[in-house]
Structure 1
Amino acid sequence: MYSHFTKKLQSTQGGFNLGGVNASGQVPDLPGNFQLIDRDTPKEAYRKRSWENPDEEMVLVFSDEFEQDGRTFYKGDDPFWEAVDLHYWGTENLEWYDPMQATTGNGSLLLTIQEADPINNHNMSYRSGMIQSCWSMGNLGRAGYGGTLEGMWPYSYDSCDIGTLEYQSNPGTQTPPDAWINGDPKYKMQLSMLPGQKLSACTCEGESHPGPKRKNGRYVGRSAPEIDMFEAVVENGVGMASFSAQFAPFNRAYMVKNDSSSPTIIIHDKENTHYNSYRGGGFQQTTSGLARLNQDCYERGGSGCFATYAFEYKNGFDDGYITWVNDNKLSWTLRAGALAPDLDTQVGQRIISQEPMYLIANLGLSETFGTLDLSNVPVPATMAVDWIRVYQPANAINIGCDPKTAPTAKYIETYKRAYENFNLTKWVDHVKEAWPKNSMKDNC
């Protein structure tokens, strides 16, 4: 798998050190092989062409080939990855993520799910592995740590308007009307159940905000966007994947803009990919392409092959885009114009992520993604990852998690407790921190 990041990998800021020391301050047992580019990466993989623009050269900035067998990912074990020990309650997963389920073997990362005795497994019937689908999230939110995600995910927004408010509505009213109709049937057709963007462009002077500020003194809106390389599903007995990105605030009825004269949703592989009819719900607006995967590359019934999956993106809102790759072929592209301002819900342009992003890989089960036939789920099952490679444009290399344009390290250190305790799921009630005042509703 490889990704084109026009933004950042982890750096020496915030506990991810270029010299090979991880967040626990420990040096891993990977002698001579803890640089950002794995020494086992073949030289021919050091450069490639952009999927979106073949004339643009991309260079390798990070790779992990997982060639050393027996690696472990408990806290402090590895310079690049840490396996979590928690329940991923946000998507109602059926498994407990345990570091013992993540290791390397036969030159691959191995994430294994298996049945477990609930008595010895936090009252859950499955156990699996997750290292911090293959997907990415903005650095200000830690996956599985609800207190860091409330009001942050899945926002990707830098406007000061109603889109930053709770329920995407004027306080105490049901306006605009389109925020209360054509929404999620689970919530009486209300469009948004989000608490509002915590670190918005409307944040009042003197409130806690990581910055930066504009020349006029107003804050830049910050958040924890999500881009998914793939989330596996089964459709009519065929192995499929959702190649998706999540956004907030929302369009009317979660419908992005797509004009046939200037398309913003482009299906490249029409034989294997179609645009997903599911558009989102009360907690996220989804843009997703459903694609048939290479059936030979499954653990059972396959030939043992690996398929290459990727996403490439350019941040921003003018010429921003996300392009997904399925089995080393273009699948589909989302252009930033799909997220143009929506007059019906009175929200501005949503942005292709400008946040520093980090990678996550996990193997899990959840009925929120589709019906599960648990009696016939073949476990134990293992997802093997042959390699992970990250590329950037040759003329725009930018590595680090604490850039001046989107600082994160000081904010994360200030609220470190929320990023280390997954039981703190609410910012005010559990983390015991104030919600920053918003000029759209507070006196400032």
Structure 2
Amino acid sequence: MKSFSLRAAINTLALCAVVIGIILLFAGWPIYRFVIAGGFPMDMSVTKQNASGMIPDVQVPTLVDPATPHSAYSRKGLDGEQYRLVFSDEFNRDGRTFWPGDDPYWEAVDLHYWGTKDLEWYDPDAITTSDGNLVITLTQQPWNNLNFRSGMLQSWNKFCFTGGYMEVNLSLPGGPTAQGFWPGVWTLGNLARPGYGGSNDGMWPYSYDSCDVGTLPNQTWPNGTAPDAAKHSGSQDYGGELSWLIGQRASACTCPADAGEHPGPSPDVGRGAPETGDRGSASQSIQIAPFTSGYNWKNTSPHVEFNPDWTIQQNQWHGSVYQESLSAEVMTDNTSFSGRGYTTYGFEYDPGPDGSIRWAINGSSTWTVHSSAIGPDAAAGIGQRIISEEPMSIVLNLAISFAFQEPEWGKLKFPASLLIDYVRVYQKGKPKIGCDPPDHPTSEYINNHMDLYMNPNISTFAQSNYTKPRNRLSATGCS
């Protein structure tokens, strides 16, 4: 009897060991991949028709692309602190497509970007990957009643980050002596989608959490008077008026009864969609609202810092009735064009009312804006603007527009391509990635206002069927 019990015990232990081994093999490994390696890979066997009607060859990396060299998994920040890689795409697999449904992190748009009077139509087929690059190609050809065709790639509502450092290694289109191409590497708060005017109206480029006249239409009181700066300190092209914005749609003044039309987390939290990034060859900027009197943000020390190792010129254009712009042009080398050479562009920022943002080229800091540069302005009656606390999506595009600069048609050669070697995002401390963080949620609001984000023909919020939440400082208040 004792012998039988011993054999039974041994057999039971052996069986348990086999079961545990199987569990570790099929459960432990995925857990390891998720916790250590940065997420689950997509199921390569899944085939799903995309918006073009084709079945894409989907081979999607995890949040951190396995092709990223391990030497790039961490970096010392411009602020001297250690940062860890939280997202990367090396674009090493040729022939990727970006129609809706093709990729978990990126989607190309199919629309005319009328907001900046672009001359091109954005078509998803103008974007692919080749020879280790994301390739966005601008061609001169009739397309949807326009004369040019190009591409815009977005991570809107797919991948977002709050705070940290974003770096892009790229080769610009054309050459250094011809002007006219308008490449863009930038970020936008997830509550607005680039190219979808209805989603932008009243969201872009607000980064504001105060309840005052800055949240109201035109930055004036309901009777249309005062503050004086809102009537007379703006551009003379607009009769001196400072702002033509419809007011902050999701402001800290939102009436409690209208909380359902506010993204949250509560109706007394100001929400918006500020813009940050590199537009043009080396134009480093942020766009914000509401606006300082005369768009005269504090552009001297200690509010801003410039690295003397770089030739930097502050942009003399500080804004218009639709945006206030903090911008600087940085002189770079003349070799990083048309695949002959590459330059890394990046920016690092700490969110919040006491935050800052630093731009960099080839890992070297160029200039820094501290939050004090966009502090309270008594003349305009506004409070502190905020270095973005919103979850930011990434935008990569190549445009052509008179709004950027006069194209030198005789020097421009088509087709022209923006080549992007990689996109990498780093953060310090606890990672804050995702488009729906608890302190700045977006998903429920987007789902409840989907037409604003899916119909590019809705150019203003008033054209939609949605209701703008009431502002308690308006003429009718919350009554």
TM-score past 0.5 threshold? yes
> Any conservation in 1 of the 2:58–2:102 contact (CA below 8 Å)?
no
State whether structure 2 residue 368 is matched by structure 1 residue 343: no
- Counterpart-to-counterpart distance in 2, 1:177 and 1:373: 41
Which residue identity is paired with 1:170? W
Shift of 1:140: 0.6
In the alignment, structure 2 segments of 5+ residues that lack a partner are 1-38, 155-183
Equivalent position of 2:152 in the other structure:
130
- Counterpart-to-counterpart distance in 2, 1:209 and 1:279: 30
- Counterpart-to-counterpart distance in 1, 2:316 and 2:347: 21
Equivalent position of 1:9 in the other structure:
none
- Counterpart-to-counterpart distance in 1, 2:388 and 2:77: 18
Equivalent position of 2:126 in the other structure:
101
Q: 1:18 to 1:336 in 2, by over 3 A?
A: farther
Which residue identity is paired with 1:315? P
> How many equivalent pairs are there?
401
> Which aligned segments of 4 or more residues in structure 1 are displaced greater than 3 angstroms?
17-22, 24-31
> Any conservation in 2 of the 1:294–1:327 contact (CA below 8 Å)?
no
Q: 1:18 to 1:196 in 2, by over 3 A?
A: farther
Shift of 1:113: 0.2
Task: String of CA shifts for 1:257-292, please: whole Å, max 9, x gaps.
Answer: 2454xx111111454212211111110000001011
Q: 1:20 to 1:187 in 2, by over 3 A?
A: farther
Equivalent position of 1:304 in the other structure:
340
Aligned to 2:326, which of 287, 294, 298?
287
* 3-state SS of paired residue (1:295): coil
- How well do the aligned residues superpose, as a CA RMSD in angstroms? 1.9
State whether structure 2 residue 273 is matched by structure 1 residue 224: yes
* 3-state SS of paired residue (1:104): strand
Q: 1:20 to 1:166 in 2, by over 3 A?
A: farther
TM-score of the pair, normalised by structure 2 = 0.81
Which residue identity is paired with 2:336? C
- Counterpart-to-counterpart distance in 1, 2:40 and 2:387: 27
TM-score of the pair, normalised by structure 1 = 0.87
> Any conservation in 2 of the 1:131–1:360 contact (CA below 8 Å)?
yes
Equivalent position of 2:262 in the other structure:
209
> Any conservation in 1 of the 2:98–2:108 contact (CA below 8 Å)?
yes
* 3-state SS of paired residue (1:386): strand
- Counterpart-to-counterpart distance in 1, 2:40 and 2:441: 18
Q: What percent identity do the matched residue pairs reach? A: 42
Q: 1:388 to 1:259 in 2, by over 3 A?
A: closer
Match runs of 1:64-75 below 5 Å: 64-75=89-100
Equivalent position of 2:57 in the other structure:
29
- Counterpart-to-counterpart distance in 2, 1:378 and 1:328: 31
- Counterpart-to-counterpart distance in 1, 2:227 and 2:209: 20
- Counterpart-to-counterpart distance in 2, 1:50 and 1:43: 17
Task: String of CA shifts for 1:349-370, please: whole Å, max 9, x gaps.
Answer: 0000000111010000111122
Which residue identity is paired with 1:64? D
Which residue identity is paired with 1:113? L
Which residue identity is paired with 1:231? R
Q: 1:273 to 1:413 in 2, by over 3 A?
A: same
Shift of 1:436: 1.1
Equivalent position of 1:437 in the other structure:
470
Task: String of CA shifts for 1:406-435, please: whole Å, max 9, x gaps.
Answer: 01101100011211110011112x212111
- Counterpart-to-counterpart distance in 1, 2:224 and 2:233: 17
**Which protein shows a greater Rg?**
2
Aligned to 1:49, which of 59, 76, 95?
76
Equivalent position of 1:316 in the other structure:
352
Shift of 1:212: 1.1
* 3-state SS of paired residue (2:256): coil
Match runs of 1:365-376 below 5 Å: 365-376=400-411
- Counterpart-to-counterpart distance in 1, 2:307 and 2:285: 15
Task: String of CA shifts for 1:62-94, please: whole Å, max 9, x gaps.
Answer: 000000011111111112111110001111111
Higher helix share: 2
- Counterpart-to-counterpart distance in 1, 2:304 and 2:414: 37
Match runs of 1:4-403 below 5 Å: 20=42, 29-31=57-59, 33-51=60-78, 53-54=79-80, 56-117=81-142, 121-132=143-154, 133-207=184-258, 208-213=261-266, 218-228=267-277, 230-232=278-280, 240-258=281-299, 260=301, 263-269=302-308, 271-299=310-338, 304-318=340-354, 320-393=355-428, 395-403=429-437
* 3-state SS of paired residue (2:459): coil
Which residue identity is paired with 1:62? F
> Any conservation in 2 of the 1:34–1:79 contact (CA below 8 Å)?
no
Which residue identity is paired with 1:407? P
Task: String of CA shifts for 1:162-214, please: whole Å, max 9, x gaps.
Answer: 0000000012233111111121222111111111000000011121111112x
* Worse-superposed segment, 331-340 or 249-258: 249-258
> Any conservation in 1 of the 2:56–2:97 contact (CA below 8 Å)?
no
> Any conservation in 2 of the 1:269–1:332 contact (CA below 8 Å)?
no
* 3-state SS of paired residue (2:206): coil
In the alignment, structure 1 segments of 5+ residues that lack a partner are 1-16, 233-239
Which residue identity is paired with 1:308? T
* 3-state SS of paired residue (1:167): helix
